[in-house]
Amino acid sequence: MEKQDFTIKRTKVECYKIRDEKRGSWADITIDVTGDHSGRISISSDYGNYANYWGACGSGFKQFLTDLNIDYAADKFKADNWFDLDKTLIDYKNQVIDCRRNESITAEKAREIYDEIKELESCSHESEFIVTIQNQDELMKFFNYQPNLSHDITPQFRRFWKVIWPVFINELEKEMIWIEIGEENNFPEVKKEPYQIRARDYDDSIVTITIKDMWDVKKVSENFVSWRLL
């Protein structure tokens, strides 16, 4: 048996555990920054599981993630292949109406096709739709036996993007603020706002202040000589 030479490298990754105790929503988002402009993200959540690797981000990986839009992300996470029955049938009906308006089909033929379209409304999933439409003779002829099916971003991913993703991105942006002011090592592991900070001002006085949100830490760094979280 040929000997196989494997190498194993252990690296540190970051896992963001997001929880909403009221609604029961949750997500574990793991980031593996593999280089200055590359990284991998893996998502496990009650809104689905997603993962992708980017080898050339053009910026730091976390900054890159904050700039993503839903269409691009859904494509990379393979979450844009949901069969949209309603849109498919609406497109079919509109094409029949357009052909009837320009008189390329008769009123009788349009009614036959329209009735066959209505028979597709009860299909519950894509495979059933494909089987059913094969038996709609007038409709198949109308589309030259090549009817288009409309696909869209999955409703589950849309909910993830609306509920979980903004929370995650907000956290990344806060981290980048701390990195910008050179305090990334002091970024708290557990976020329990508001925060108590002990700071030294430019008159060498020691004060204790409260900040309501991690965003305010940049203002603290600009107005005090030094500070630390309590």
Q: What is the pLDDT of residues 116-155, one digit of tens each?
A: 999 999 999 999 999 999 999 999 999 999 999 999 999 9
Q: What is the pLDDT of residue 132?
A: 96
Rounded Cα–Cα distance for residues 203 and 224 (Å) = 9
How far, in Å, CA of 86 to CA of 98, rounded? 18
pLDDT at residue number 170:
87
Q: Where are the domains of the chain?
A: 9-80+154-180, 83-152, 190-230
Q: What are phi and psi of 198, to 5 degrees?
A: -100, 120
pLDDT for residue 1 is more than 70: no
Would you say residue 190 has pLDDT above 60? no
Q: Collapsing DSSP states into helix, strand and coil, what is residue 19?
A: strand
Q: What is the pLDDT of residue 175?
A: 81
| CB within 8 Å of 89: residues ≥ 6 apart | 117, 120, 121
Give the lowest-confidence range in 43-52, 176-185, 189-198: 189-198
Strand order in the sheet with 14-20: 14-20, 25-35, 38-45, 48-54
Predicted local confidence at residue 96, as pLDDT: 95
Q: Answer for the pair 139, 114: CB distance below 8 angstroms, yes or no.
A: no
- Torsion-angle region of 182 (φ positive above 0: left; ψ -120 to 50: alpha; else: beta): left
